[in-house]
Chains A and B, each alone.
Chain A
Amino acid sequence: MSGGLTFLDRPNSYIGRSVPRPNARRLLEGRGTFVDDVAVPRLAHVAFLRSPVAHARIAALHTAAASAMPGVLAVVDGPALARVCAPWVGVLGHFKGLRSAPQHALAVDRVTWVGEPFCAVVARSRPEAEDALAAIRADLEPLPAVVDMETALDPGTPPIHPELGDNLAFERRLEVGDVEGAFRDAALVVEETFGFGRHTGVCLEPRAILADWNAADGLLTVHHSFQAPHMMQDILAKHLALPEGAVRVICRDVGGSFGIKVHIYPDEMATCALALMLRRPVKFVADRLESFTSDIHARDHRVTARMAFSAEGDILALDMDDLTGIGPYSVYPRTSAVEANQVVNLTGGPYRHGAYRARARVVLQNKAPTCQYRAVGHPIATMVAEGLLDLGAARLGLDPAAIRLRNVIPDDAYPCAGVSGIRLEKLSHQAALAKLLAMMDYDALRAEQAALRREGVHRGIGLSVFIEITNPSAAFYGVGGARISAQDGCTIRLDPQGGVVAAISVTEQGQGTEAVIAQVVATATGVPLGMVRVVSGDTQATPYGGGTWASRGAGIGGEAAWQAGKALRANVTAVAAAILQARAETLDIREGAIVDAATGVERMSLAELGRIAYFRPDTLPAGVQPEFVVTRHYVPKDYPFAFTNGVQASSVEVDVETGFVRLLGHWCVEDCGTVLNPLLVDEQIRGGIVQGLGGALFEHCLYDSEGQLLNGSMADYLVPMAGEMPDIAVAHVVSATASSEIGAKGAGEAGTAGAPAAVVNAINDALRPLGARVSRQPVTPETILEALGAI
């Protein structure tokens, strides 16, 4: 960078400032454009007939009565739709041995979970489509349902897909160091079985898609509530047999995603196929009830693990066995093996032990498919290690903070590798722990806890050290054959009045991506923030890219924007230099004006430069051709992933008569490298913590033994609500990544990664004097009462 300045020091830097989101006012005024707000002529509405049973053969479908209902335009079953939309198989090359079966947009022959769509009704209105659904008679012949993941691999359990032979989709084993020797020689071994209930992401805006086939243009325009428009474009082109250029995917405002909206859903593919078949626009908006049975679920793991300690409290080894049920298909195209794989990669990752053994088995079952949801695998990995660590500390008489400080990889050890082989550039566990303990006044809280315990008040404090995978390179999906872009691009154009338009391939779902990109662009170009417009979420209008998931938007998209902005600034100052007869390196752009870099004195405004460049180019010196549009791309190359770290703490009070838990406080110190916008980062952390607390205490997709979802409504499925949430204090340690100039790593999943372990450890800390402990999430009042032997 010129003048020895880092971008943080640039005179008009917006980096590190909590500038407001440019789209916040628009959304607050009700001027958002969500899929359901898009108005097109001749719009038809589709509703889906969904399987009422977990597993059955579709013997016959009687649709004549439905076809004759008022307003009905078409009734389409699986075989008819399959002529337009090719099936898919959710496997990836780098998950060796991962198996799944072909999955259709509308089930053909068999339905395999409660909620799987197997017939579609398109009508003039959604109510008419639903009226007609009720008139379809489906003859379903029950097949044995595989519900319990614990018995899915039993020899007596029939395979869901007979061609696969059994229900094992994927297995991974890892062994590092002398695990047997470490356990043999250990002073202490602790063991626990952890349960992680199945839950789902509940987006404010449900999944929604509007597909409009314009035969005259040869263009399928898809408005989609989605995180990865280019991925969707590629997949639609492939499965609908269209050239890439015949598909345009637009993701305008998206009302939350959390990883739910980055997968291929049968009903959404069917909607696009129906638009092609009917040659008219078709819209599908998932309602709340069908969201619960058709959105991807997540977690649903059972982990049995043990940890070996020296007498002094050093972790010697970790051994764990993970079993997870993923539904009847591995989800396309990212697969449903990733969560278990992450659990293997991440468990114990903050610590410096050298022996580690892990096995993960991923099994098929007749429940809703699971796939990547916020903090994939992280809460599981963190809970296992942090739970075992607290068990060890209690047995050894060590303080939970002390045993963590003793075992974390020291801050001066980087770069290095974690025990599972993950490559770590720069983490800050020691600094983060120190900051957290000071922030929460750990010693005072412990003293208060002890005093209250003498009065019969049962408070607990829980700690949770974690690492988070962010900024993935092509190692995540691309190397496995998935056509999901790891690189992203930004195109910036300077307009005549001196404003810029930045088109970016990462996307906005409410987290503030566009705000961060605007800050970076304003800082890099020298244009005031108020004169930066950001365009995102349109495959025809932005560079090609991956979108926003895996905490990659700011770190990868932000760097592309930074590089594009720098290049545009260079182009602009070069033209200004020609006009001003100055050397380009003596000029800069600040607050929308060309200035002398040394003195800051304005030489000319960008508006004047724009006027000349666009309207009087005849006055430019010979050979000067302004290039006021610049594109740059970025992909992380130095490391497969930019790991971040953090530590959380939770303070709770347990009512031991009722089992109710009151959340008294929550703290998080995390290190996402450069903090581009503190307000947005802190709110990402807070939102993530709330979602983590949801999984730990409230959210649970409950199935009966027949595979029926029992609580698929907002009345029965408990999302965390503000009233029960504690105050959440957030602070940061900054270890910028050297892989990019802006140095930003991801922050979107850190809250969710660490919150469950912190709160469960706090509950167990409160229960410890009573000889009780809990290990199954969600931890409900009933779980606690059972642990206490009160019921």
Chain B
Amino acid sequence: MKAPEVAYACPSTLDEALTLLSRHGDEARPLAGGQSLVTALNMRLAAPALLVDLNRIPDLAGITRRDGVVRVGAMTRHRDLGASDLVRDHLPLVAAAVPHIAHPAIRNRGTLGGSVALGDPAAELPACCLALGATMVLRGQGGERRVPADAFFLGLYATAIAPAEILVAIEFPLPEPGAVWGFQELARRHGDYALAGLAATARRRERGLDAVRLVFFGVGDRPVLARGASAALAGAGIRAAQAALDADIDPPDDVAVKGRTRRHLARVLLGRVAGGMLEGAP
């Protein structure tokens, strides 16, 4: 299919972009890497009247460390995220997740902000943001707003981004001493959306783990912080966490696979990832 006609604006400042979004309301969509939106246009699943291209706005991309956080500009490409020394040193969970995102051609264009703003429930980066307790930095005409990841993902492709707001950056706290992490996903083919995936962080204690955040993706309508399983893992170990997981997630049946299969795979992943974190080898 071919995309319907759409107007296109390529502002050179963030204020200009915000003005356009504000003026055109629902009719306008910001365009980041285009790896989901352009496909949706071509399939005629989306038909905005105006695309506001964010690619020429300076300072939306880039990775910096300051004030106890690593700040990643929303227009930072997956490729650059994966190649960054700062990410490798301070956000190894994100570095581990990047190779699982689709394929190199898509990672060359796709952006962190685009992925997080779309909020695909099976995507890797939203789950990483949630596991790492990231903060989303949003800008609207009224100024800047900061939303913690825990309050950001609201449902299927639904986020806390308000109309005429743009996600400009994501701030990840620097890991504390003793921080451990784990990442695994199960996809039929490399680069596919996972049947189930797990991004996890915790702090290793003398015996066991605490501050556990087990975030599953591909098992619900958004990345799911499995609170019961996380608490059980900290308090009682892997088997207890696997048992508690049943109450945390309720994956529906879909075309690809039955819900109970995703649930089973999530349980297996929990065992493997938690085992790795307990042993210190992610």
Contacts and interface: CB of A to CB of B under 8 A. Distances in A.
A716 B255 contact: yes
A311 interface: no
A790 B264 contact: yes
A608 interface: no
Contact of B261 (A290, A657, A785): A785
Contact of B188 (A127, A130, A698): A698
A723 B261 contact: no
B256 interface: yes
A127 B255 contact: no
B2 A126 contact: yes
A710 B256 CA distance: 9
A487 B264 CA distance: 57
A450 interface: no
Contacts of B190: 721, 723-724
Nearest to B192: A718
Contacts of B4: 127, 130-131
Contact of B255 (A130, A131, A290, A702): A702
Given A660-B186, A721-B189, A723-B191, A782 B2 contact: no
B268 interface: yes
A69 to B, nearest CB: 12
A657 B2 CA distance: 43
Given A289-B1, A718-B189, A723-B190, A791 B268 contact: no
Nearest to A660: B186
Contacts of A781: 186, 188, 195, 257, 261, 265
Given A131-B4, A287-B1, A698 B264 contact: no
A724 B260 CA distance: 25
Contacts of A125: 2
Contact of B44 (A126, A130, A660, A780): A130
A566 to B, nearest CB: 49
Interface residues of B, number: 24
Contacts of A698: 188-189
A791 B255 contact: no
A711 interface: yes
A127 B43 contact: no
A126 B3 CA distance: 10
| Residues of A contacting B: mostly | loop
Interface in A705-748: 710-711, 713, 715-716, 718, 720-721, 723-724
A615 B268 CA distance: 81
Given A718-B192, A781-B188, A127 B258 contact: no
Nearest to A657: B268
Contacts of B43: 289, 713
Interface string A271-301: 0000000000000000101100000000000
Contact of B268 (A127, A658, A720): A658
Given A130-B44, A698-B188, A782 B261 contact: yes
Interface in B186-234: 186, 188-193, 195
B42 to A, nearest CB: 8
Nearest to A778: B188
A782 B268 contact: no
Interface in A625-648: none
A522 B114 CA distance: 56
A710 B261 contact: no
A791 B2 contact: no
A716 B255 CA distance: 8
A130 B261 contact: no
B5 interface: yes
B255 A724 contact: no
B255 A718 contact: no
A704 to B, nearest CB: 9
Nearest to A790: B264
A131 B3 CA distance: 9
Given A131-B4, A289-B43, A658-B265, A791 B186 contact: no
B189 A130 contact: no
Given A710-B255, A721-B189, A724-B190, 9 more contacts: A127-B5, A130-B4, A287-B1, A289-B1, A658-B186, A721-B190, A781-B195, A781-B261, A791-B261
Interface of B: 1-5, 43-44, 186, 188-193, 195, 255-258, 260-261, 264-265, 268
Interface of A: 125-127, 130-131, 134, 287, 289-290, 657-658, 660, 698, 702, 710-711, 713, 715-716, 718, 720-721, 723-724, 780-782, 785, 790-791
24 contacts: A127-B2, A130-B1, A131-B5, A660-B186, A698-B188, A698-B189, A702-B255, A710-B255, A711-B255, A711-B256, A713-B43, A716-B256, A718-B189, A721-B191, A723-B190, A724-B189, A724-B190, A780-B188, A781-B261, A782-B257, A785-B261, A785-B264, A791-B261, A791-B264
